[in-house]
Amino acid sequence: MDQQITPESLIKLYQESLLQNWDLPLFSDYDGISYKYGEVAQKIHQIHLFYKASGIQKGDKIALLGRNSSNWGIVFLATLGYGAVAVPVLPDFNPSDVHHIVNHSESSLLFATDALLEKLDLEAMSDLKGIIRLNSFELGGTPGKVLEDAWRQSLKEGSVQSISPAEFQLEELALEDACVISYTSGTSGFTKGVMVPVRSLLSNIVFAREHMPLKSGDRIVSFLPMAHVFGLLFEFLFPATLGCHITFLTKAPTPQVIIKAFAEIKPRLILSVPLVIEKIYKKRIQPALEKPSMKLLLKVPVLSSVIRKKVREKLVETFGGCFHEIVIGGAPLSKEVEVFFRKIKFPFTIGYGMTECGPLISYDAWQTTQPSSAGKLVDRMQVRIDSDDPYRQVGEIQVKGMNTMLGYYKNEEATEQAFTEDGWLRTGDLGLIDSQNYIFIKGRSKNMLLGPSGQNIYPEEIEAKLANMSGVLENVVVEREGKLVALIFPDSEFVEAEQLDEEAVKKLMEHNRKHVNKELPKYSQVSRIEIVEEEFEKTPKRNIKRYLYTS
């Protein structure tokens, strides 16, 4: 495929890639099933027949619930190629959150893995037309006759003859059509379903094709959650347009599993969140560097350069040895790790984005990026800093351009709050820019934290649950050494009325922690409680000065 093309059609990218790479491998589950490009096209064809026979119309919503897998990717591409709207659901969400997202999005069908489907209450999603098991493409629940007939004629094994490349066709989409609704939270009181338009996906993919060199046959490991746009775009949608071979880690991506997969697959491009990189650094690099003998050797100029070269080689080998770059995003990287990586000239770079931009705002290649920056503004976006001096005075980062969302699904109030009166998207992040439009992030005004595998954690949601518990007057959830800790100021009136001593208060708060954790995904559960003796310091508007407690 011509690498210089600047396509105006998202669907054409996939149509051409599937046809031109027909006999090459496209998807593999790690230690599991594999599909060639032509086999994926065949499955997409069958799903389209199923959608049509089931009465699915263009613009209808299709929910996907499961960890990264080949079948997940097939259903996603089939949904876009039919003109329907994909609603990816994070597999870590609680059943009640899944029910809420399916209902709020008005999804017509739900594709879900067997293990996650067993946890759901199907009666709580009564408006669904049907449920399909992602593992096998079998029907789930109690399907009606229309759905059963549609499945028997299209999805059932052997029901449809193999198609030739000439017979394969995808549905064209308009640039302003919503094609994905991405829920950054499942909790009903915090629901924001980001409507990602076709132009945003296309713009992100074209930028990646122009700046992140991949070619047909290159290998990619997909381990970031595809229910979030960072992993969805750059580990899946972008490489699939080029003839790459994508291997999905279908289980929880621990650093050990990731390193093993990298060693075997040897990916050409790696996407990661800081936590994974920092864990590898702390476990594999830092202990050796902190030995007294090593500290002495690093002070000798000739020896230090040799040692750093050896460390770099070891680190490159840890990630498979064949990648041209690691792109880190989702949260700030530890300053210590970033400085050391730059010293050894490790090929990494830091990007910046958000779901509402599908996700890219800034990026630059590792050879040219500015230290401490989050990359350079991408060429299809504009940026401004809401301050009198954007080069020196920190202000909110605001953007607009091809990548921005349409708004939040069925939430006009949140959509209005997300944009300024003159049409700029408020990122909620604080920062500076320089004369070349490199972005330097100085704070996260939206308070979002990042889970171990890239999941978004919103402290306010956890705090809202804790605030409803007995004896809790105020609380702030913070991150300490990768764990969530709840700082709680007890309700003195409650304590006095119940005649609770210090030990009883501690037991009550521990009970509250366990109770709240039952309502939270594992990645956002509170690890411990710290009781504070004084009321939290507040602004004139009576908002807690969170920054005083998160540093």
From start to end of 56-99, where are the E strands? 61-65, 85-89
Q: Are 350 and 380 in contact (CB under 8 A)?
A: no
- Spatial separation of the C-alpha atoms in residues 522 and 303, rounded to whole Å: 45
Shortest CA distance to 362 belongs to which of 382, 378, 380?
A: 378
**What is the SS3 assignment for 236?**
helix
Q: Are 281 and 326 in contact (CB under 8 A)?
A: no
Q: Are 489 and 535 in contact (CB under 8 A)?
A: yes
**What is the SS3 assignment for 461?**
helix
**What is the SS3 assignment for 336?**
helix
Sheet of 85-89: strand order equals 139-140, 130-133, 107-112, 61-65, 85-89, 178-183, 193-197, 407-408
- Spatial separation of the C-alpha atoms in residues 288 and 33, rounded to whole Å: 39
Band of residue 1 on the pLDDT scale cut at 50, 70, 90: very low
Shortest CA distance to 467 belongs to which of 527, 403, 544?
A: 544
**What is the SS3 assignment for 366?**
coil
Give me the mean pLDDT over the 430-454 stretch.
Answer: 83
- Residue 4 token pair: 């210089």
- Which run of H or E residues covers position 47? helix 37-54
pLDDT tens per residue, range 395-423: 899 999 999 999 999 999 999 999 999 99
Band of residue 137 on the pLDDT scale cut at 50, 70, 90: very high
Which pLDDT score is estimated for 287? 82
Which pLDDT score is estimated for 452? 78
Looking at the domain that runs over 458-550, which CATH code has it been given?
3.30.300.30
Q: Are 57 and 422 in contact (CB under 8 A)?
A: no
Band of residue 539 on the pLDDT scale cut at 50, 70, 90: low
- Spatial separation of the C-alpha atoms in residues 408 and 194, rounded to whole Å: 5
- Spatial separation of the C-alpha atoms in residues 159 and 249, rounded to whole Å: 30
Choose the most confident range, by mean pLDDT, from 271-275, 383-387, 439-443.
Answer: 383-387
Beta-bridge partners for 59 = none
CB within 8 Å of 444: residues ≥ 6 apart: 428, 429, 430
Rg over CA atoms, the chain? 24
pLDDT tens per residue, range 363-393: 999 999 999 999 999 999 999 999 999 999 8
**What is the SS3 assignment for 325?**
strand
- Which run of H or E residues covers position 527? strand 526-531
pTM: 0.85
Q: Which DSSP string corresponds to 240-300?
A: HTTT-EEEE--S---HHHHHHHHHHH--SEEEE-HHHHHHHIIIIIHHHHTSHHHHHHTTS
Tell me which of 324 and 253 has the higher pLDDT.
324
Q: Which DSSP string corresponds to 140-168?
A: ES---HHHHHHHHHHTSTTSSPPPPGGG-
> For the chain, what percent of residues have pLDDT higher than 90?
74
Question: What are the φ and ψ backbone dihedral angles of 302, each rounded to 5 degrees?
Answer: -65, -45
pLDDT > 50? residue 320:
yes
Give me the mean pLDDT over the 5-11 stretch.
Answer: 75
User: What single DSSP character describes residue 233?
Assistant: I
Which pLDDT score is estimated for 460? 80
- Spatial separation of the C-alpha atoms in residues 241 and 175, rounded to whole Å: 18
Spans of all domains in the chain: 10-24+33-209, 458-550
Tell me which of 105 and 452 has the higher pLDDT.
105
What is the domain class of 10-24+33-209 according to CATH?
alpha beta
Amino acid at 528: R
CB within 8 Å of 533: residues ≥ 6 apart: none
Sheet of 34-36: strand order equals 34-36, 25-29, 245-248, 219-222
Cα distances from 250 to residues 30, 63, 132, 253, 261, in angstroms, run 7, 18, 18, 8, 11
User: What single DSSP character describes residue 188?
Assistant: G
Amino acid at 221: V
- Spatial separation of the C-alpha atoms in residues 148 and 117, rounded to whole Å: 19
Q: Are 266 and 24 in contact (CB under 8 A)?
A: no
- Tokens 């809420």 map to which residue? 100
pLDDT > 80? residue 189:
no
| Residue 503 CB-density burial (10 A; 0-12 exposed, 13-18 middle, 19+ buried) | exposed
